Structure 1
Amino acid sequence: MLVRIVKMEFYKQNIEVFLKNFEANKKRIRGFNGCTFLELYRDKNYPSIFFTYSHWESEEDLERYRKSEVFNDVWSVTKPLFSSRPEAWSVDKLESLK
């Protein structure tokens, strides 16, 4: 399993547009073949900073998503809203405690 973490910072006036776009597309993203988990986080101290946290069955599944119509639909709305360049990490989960 691969975990994908994406940090995004938005201009304050664009936050509602981003949230509406995420709401409209979150089931499409989560329902994409290979995506097994999706969450959205907001920084407590910097409310213009958000993170997506998703689990993918494989790196190939994530790459198929990144080349998909779903990604293009979401990203074409999201990209112009950024106040700084997004950052992304693909990591392997080594341990999970409950």
Structure 2
Amino acid sequence: MIVRIVRMTFQEDKLPDFHTIFNNSKHQIRAFPGNRHLQLLSDPDHPTVRMTYSLWESVDALEAYRRSDLFRETWAATKLLFAEKPVAFSGENIESVPLIDIA
């Protein structure tokens, strides 16, 4: 399993535009072959930062997505909204620890 995290800093007035792009593409990304999970996160200390956290079956599945028209079109629209260069990295899952219900 491949974990992909992309940290993006947006121009403050462009955040609504990003959320529109994300909302319009999230179902297609989640349905893309090899995608197992997609989540959007915010940084509690930096209100203009958003992060995507996604899980992919393999490097090949992630790369197929990155070569797709869906990615190219979504990324082209998203990168126009950045205030800073995004940071992206991937990692291969070695071990998962189940969540503990503390309730």
User: Taking structure 1 as the reference length, what is the TM-score of the superposition?
Assistant: 0.96
Q: Quick one: distance in 1 between partners of 2:44 and 2:94?
A: 26
- Structure 1 residues 19-58: aligned runs within 5 Å: 19-58=19-58
User: Taking structure 2 as the reference length, what is the TM-score of the superposition?
Assistant: 0.92
Give the equivalent residue in structure 1 for 2:5: 5
- 1:73 shift after superposition: 1.6
Unaligned regions of 5+ residues in structure 2, if any?
A: none
Please say which structure displays the higher CA radius of gyration: 2
Q: Quick one: distance in 2 between partners of 1:3 and 1:45?
A: 23
Q: Quick one: distance in 2 between partners of 1:91 and 1:13?
A: 32
* Runs of 4 or more above 4 Å deviation: none
Q: Aligned with 1:54: secondary structure? A: strand
- Structure 1 residues 76-95: aligned runs within 5 Å: 76-95=76-95
Q: Aligned with 2:25: secondary structure? A: helix
Q: Aligned with 1:47: secondary structure? A: strand
- 1:95 shift after superposition: 2.4
Q: Quick one: distance in 1 between partners of 2:89 and 2:72?
A: 19
- Alignment RMSD: 0.7
- 1:94 shift after superposition: 2.3
Q: Quick one: distance in 1 between partners of 2:66 and 2:7?
A: 16
